[in-house]
Amino acid sequence: MSKFAIRLLTLATYATTLVVVPMVTPAEASSSRYIKKHKKIILSSPGFSYPRAILAAALVKLGRIDEAKIEAARVLALQPSFSIGEFCAVNDPAPEIALPMTEALRAAGLPE
């Protein structure tokens, strides 16, 4: 698993579980078990589009495009006005994350 995908998955977990679930280590994030665990976390906050967008980007980086597109569709169902530009403007990712994040969100099928 790429370092970028691990960062995205860890960030998604953090966003959905600030006080409920402790952060995971990169080693944990690199396992398929972690992705299953992350999906369970998302289910605990099903109306929150932010972690789904990050999961979609992480899945793209893992080469799991079909799954990423499903998550992107869920993002748009939750937040029809979602755009990559607004997502990045609001979250102001670090430069080393902004470009790969934008590319991954685009590849998942989310609108500019």
Q: Which fold has domain 3-108?
A: 1.25.40
Contact criterion met (CB below 8 Å) for 71 and 56: yes
pTM over 0.75: no
Residue 27's pLDDT is 53
- For residue 35, how many C-alpha atoms fall within 13 Å in the half-sphere facing its CB? 17
- One-letter amino acid for residue 72 of the chain: A
The pLDDT of 88-109, averaged and rounded, is 86
Q: At residue 105, does pLDDT exceed 90?
A: yes
**Which tops the pLDDT comparison, 57 or 15?**
57
Burial degree of 73 (CB within 10 A; 0-12, 13-18, 19+): middle
Chain segment 32-77, per-residue pLDDT in tens: 676 777 777 777 778 888 888 888 888 887 788 999 999 999 999 9
Diameter of the chain measured on Cα atoms: 35
